[in-house]
Structure 1
């Protein structure tokens, strides 16, 4: 994208090995050939992912039409490489073929995208994706025996259906991540279908795959949202912080070289160009693996893996330890008499190097906190360099950094104390009330999902030694989900401000929000008598109904305090429990319900 610009974009043949103009010194011919072979062998899977993410409502049968069409196109271009149609940009070919499927653009309401061309059409398809997938039917669940029967009868069709369902529900997940998920699920199916206890096998082995997908998709959506809303500078800052912490012994010059490939990767991946995403992610990993000795001691085994596991392995490898010869602080940014002159010579490079040096020295800090520190330093120099004696001013930088971190640390400590005081269920209800008050315009299902994610962040992190970084990172991902990728996403003025004003400080911005005072609640008619179906629900389903009721209660009565809402919710659940024991529950709800609401 380079802020979503495609000038000078490489025109390449869709699946041809002759496209060697994409090579760099960090990706040799062998590496490129491996990537190219992988793409050719997985043309169908790549097409499924792209189509399912762009047209989420489309059926598997409709998707199969496109897969057949693209495979025929690939075979024709491999046989006759000089055909003019084979010189088209891959994503343009794909979107053109989607638009050409008779009746599909009208059926699923993306005709407006098909009326555009080139970059404008690509952007339209991107912004047409829907993060809230409540409109889709429930994820198909088969009895383990039926699942294994389907797997054995037609393995390819079974796995393609799985990939279609996963991709349409994760429209912003990167293609390589979804290919990794599919490969791992195939291994699970292969193993579990040979077991006697198939159900328990699937349950145990599929859970880590779901967790991996959720974590990766959430991170990718947050980073792409930052890129699209704030531009390449913020994207570069995120990657400097992440890579400097992960690979603290890497030299700054080597890091900037690596980040050029990383930026190209995000150009394709964030736009939803699955093919380019695969190419450039492979290029990034080849770059890292070709310089292992100077980058990391933790990735040797990863670099021996095949695609796409190599990429997944490196991304999820643990951080290297801080080099022993690395001082606790870098004096050149606070004690140097010429800081202002060095800043003015090349501000972009200067602040990038500061973030690199600070990040590699502070593995205990979160990515958002490192970005806050960088912003504090930038603002401090903007002030200090205009004073009569700048060095006296910026020598106080470390104090400013500590103040910023202490403020963030207090926020995390309060959140973990809340978990300890309220318990997991109490915290969930608190989060649902809090989120619904500030963003009542969101759908009930989306608010429930965000509330659960916030609780998961705290229950996962609050007992860990790296509590601060873990909570701050995961909680920021929840806000990334809330803010979304689309630059035009509007919830309400206060939330929109926090989402768009400053990426590093949005967590603190959200903490200041009290509620949307401009929100007009819906009618309450029949609200407290509409839950007779609670009586037929049990366990998880009953819990989901209670969660939905609480969110809708807050939407109905947003002016009530947390305590009042909690009391009203408790009164209703007690009344529901009593009515469900009656011979005629509906009559009980009709009589008792209105008393609760008044």
Structure 2
């Protein structure tokens, strides 16, 4: 893949922005020039990502037509940059080209978007993205021999097709992540196609690439969902907490400057502006590496490397240790007599500094918990500053913070206890039932995916020393996926309230949800307990998926049953399947035993 070595570097889960104009500082020129050159050379791959994410139903052949058109546009602008069309944003040009393709807007129901212009059209394209991709065929699973032959015959077409298939199934993943996935996939394909045991090679080496993709898919949906539902202030708070934890030595002024750069990314990356998203990253590198000493000794080491090595190094950098002279509390927010006056002078800056000071002192807490504490502090001051003696009121703030943390910690401990008691499979069945009861409107596949995410969070974190932050961060991320990105996504009143009321308290809100009372289940018919011999042919993972699918559909049909009763029915189904698959006539056995299960 041409020049596909621009690593999708992410710094502690955040990207940053790049101006579309030439940079003013000499040290930024190399960043801008190299990025611009990369974009021009890789317009084909950039078009694939943007088009496949916007118009997920489009065929590979239709995408190739648009790609050819965009390459011609690039060539014209390289020959004469003064042409009027060359002054437009690339994302706008791409959408215009799609809208001009005969019959395609009508075919894929984009006519209403194509009737709009600029910002309104960009948002229209974005809000047409579908997170639930059940409407697409299963991801192509090629035999390794076929895969390697296709790669050798036409490497570029093979990789284009791979990127197209991935992008349309992960419509909210940032372009930079997909470019990294494509790079890593080729790094797998090339050596594996030379191996004697290709199947084992692909299975082993593709797994971490797939995990990387799923992790960043979850992140992008979570953070963009927060951006669209709660606005830039909440994202700024997330960024402040994250960067303060990661870089506790950075002073407040430098941190707020970096947060400004970080927070401005989301207009481009969240809306799917591939070019802007790629450009945005280089400004971050320039900004971050301009003050490596004040940031982190680890960052300084990365910044001294060559550009591509530097990017990968920063992406993999761990948190900087808290300095020994940094106490666990900042007295100015609880002991000063002038807290209310300072708050009233500049509330946004005051609470931003509080989040910064508290986060850099508590690397053991999750990002949602840090935001909860800031919320608690805001509410406390709102009450205290109305009293006759505010200092006497807010000097107990630390007790409130500890009380909030203790409440969240107990929730995590309960979940980890459930994991230890039920085991991985039992925990999965618990979440399949509980998630289906609170959000039965979701598709079966999405509920299975969310249950898997919750189980992954607990199995990953409950054996770690920092289980609290780990569990809380990952569970909140999974709930962010449930809430979705689009503003027009509605599930049911209770879930919608948790998704939209307060980002920091989203997890506790979901914890209190019970069975959705507004849901009207489909009529329970006997077909629920009608089974066929295909169950006997299913092996291992596919058999387990069929069982999980059955449990979700069982809860959708009978949401009023207790978990114990649901599990009893589920166990009975498992026993019938085992019995009938051993019988001489499985179909006859299923016809006889199936109807007895619910009697």
Fold conserved between structures, TM > 0.5: yes
Quote how far apart the aligned CAs of 1:533 are. Answer: 2.4
The whole-number CA distance in structure 1 between the counterparts of 2:309 and 2:562 is 49
> Does 2:396 correspond to 1:396?
yes
The whole-number CA distance in structure 1 between the counterparts of 2:311 and 2:173 is 14
Quote how far apart the aligned CAs of 1:558 are. Answer: 0.1
The whole-number CA distance in structure 2 between the counterparts of 1:201 and 1:304 is 34
Query: Using a 3 Å threshold, how does the CA distance of structure 1 residues 37 and 300 change in structure 2: closer, same or farther?
Result: farther
> Does 2:560 correspond to 1:559?
yes
> Does 2:145 correspond to 1:152?
no
Instruction: Note if contact 1:302-1:313 (Cα within 8 Å) is conserved in structure 2.
Output: yes
The whole-number CA distance in structure 1 between the counterparts of 2:462 and 2:598 is 37
Unpaired runs of 5+ residues, structure 1, are 1-18
1:175-197 residue CA offsets vs partner (Å, 9 max, x unmatched): 11111111111111122222222
The whole-number CA distance in structure 2 between the counterparts of 1:167 and 1:60 is 12
Query: Using a 3 Å threshold, how does the CA distance of structure 1 residues 183 and 484 change in structure 2: closer, same or farther?
Result: same
Quote how far apart the aligned CAs of 1:544 are. Answer: 0.5
Query: Using a 3 Å threshold, how does the CA distance of structure 1 residues 456 and 288 change in structure 2: closer, same or farther?
Result: same
Instruction: Note if contact 2:241-2:367 (Cα within 8 Å) is conserved in structure 1.
Output: yes
Partner of 1:86: 86
What is the TM-score when the length of structure 2 is the normalising length?
Answer: 0.94
1:219-261 residue CA offsets vs partner (Å, 9 max, x unmatched): 1110110010000110100000111111111111011111111
Partner of 2:336: 336
Partner of 2:14: none
The whole-number CA distance in structure 2 between the counterparts of 1:556 and 1:578 is 25
The whole-number CA distance in structure 2 between the counterparts of 1:307 and 1:166 is 27
1:299-324 residue CA offsets vs partner (Å, 9 max, x unmatched): 34544667777545424421011122
Instruction: Note if contact 1:285-1:314 (Cα within 8 Å) is conserved in structure 2.
Output: no
Partner of 1:3: none
Quote how far apart the aligned CAs of 1:25 are. Answer: 4.8
Query: Using a 3 Å threshold, how does the CA distance of structure 1 residues 24 and 237 change in structure 2: closer, same or farther?
Result: farther
Instruction: Note if contact 2:22-2:29 (Cα within 8 Å) is conserved in structure 1.
Output: no
Partner of 2:448: 448
The whole-number CA distance in structure 2 between the counterparts of 1:119 and 1:196 is 52
Instruction: Note if contact 2:293-2:300 (Cα within 8 Å) is conserved in structure 1.
Output: no
Partner of 2:361: 361
The whole-number CA distance in structure 1 between the counterparts of 2:168 and 2:209 is 17
The whole-number CA distance in structure 1 between the counterparts of 2:550 and 2:377 is 46
Partner of 1:317: 317
Quote how far apart the aligned CAs of 1:522 are. Answer: 1.0
The whole-number CA distance in structure 2 between the counterparts of 1:77 and 1:240 is 40
Partner of 1:571: 572
Instruction: Note if contact 1:113-1:125 (Cα within 8 Å) is conserved in structure 2.
Output: yes
Instruction: Note if contact 1:494-1:513 (Cα within 8 Å) is conserved in structure 2.
Output: yes
Partner of 2:551: 550
Instruction: Note if contact 2:335-2:395 (Cα within 8 Å) is conserved in structure 1.
Output: yes
CA RMSD for the aligned pairs?
1.6
Of the structure 1 ranges 300-309 and 283-292, higher mean CA displacement relative to structure 2 is found in 300-309
Partner of 1:580: 581
Partner of 1:591: 592
Unpaired runs of 5+ residues, structure 2, are 1-18
The whole-number CA distance in structure 2 between the counterparts of 1:113 and 1:325 is 56
The whole-number CA distance in structure 2 between the counterparts of 1:24 and 1:279 is 15
Of the structure 1 ranges 535-544 and 224-233, higher mean CA displacement relative to structure 2 is found in 535-544
Partner of 1:36: 36
> SS at 1:245's partner residue?
helix
Of the structure 1 ranges 23-32 and 359-368, higher mean CA displacement relative to structure 2 is found in 23-32
The whole-number CA distance in structure 2 between the counterparts of 1:487 and 1:452 is 25
RCO comparison, higher one (Cα < 8 Å, 6+): 2
Partner of 1:275: 275
> Does 2:240 correspond to 1:240?
yes
1:488-531 residue CA offsets vs partner (Å, 9 max, x unmatched): 11100000000001100010000000110121111222111145
State how many pairs are aligned. Answer: 580
Partner of 2:121: 121
The whole-number CA distance in structure 2 between the counterparts of 1:131 and 1:311 is 29
The whole-number CA distance in structure 1 between the counterparts of 2:136 and 2:549 is 18
Query: Using a 3 Å threshold, how does the CA distance of structure 1 residues 351 and 298 change in structure 2: closer, same or farther?
Result: same
Partner of 2:105: 105
The whole-number CA distance in structure 2 between the counterparts of 1:145 and 1:387 is 76
Instruction: Note if contact 2:580-2:589 (Cα within 8 Å) is conserved in structure 1.
Output: yes
Instruction: Note if contact 2:248-2:321 (Cα within 8 Å) is conserved in structure 1.
Output: yes
Quote how far apart the aligned CAs of 1:591 are. Answer: 2.3
Instruction: Note if contact 2:173-2:221 (Cα within 8 Å) is conserved in structure 1.
Output: yes
Query: Using a 3 Å threshold, how does the CA distance of structure 1 residues 560 and 308 change in structure 2: closer, same or farther?
Result: farther
Instruction: Note if contact 1:163-1:178 (Cα within 8 Å) is conserved in structure 2.
Output: yes
> SS at 1:299's partner residue?
helix
> Does 2:518 correspond to 1:537?
no
Partner of 1:497: 497
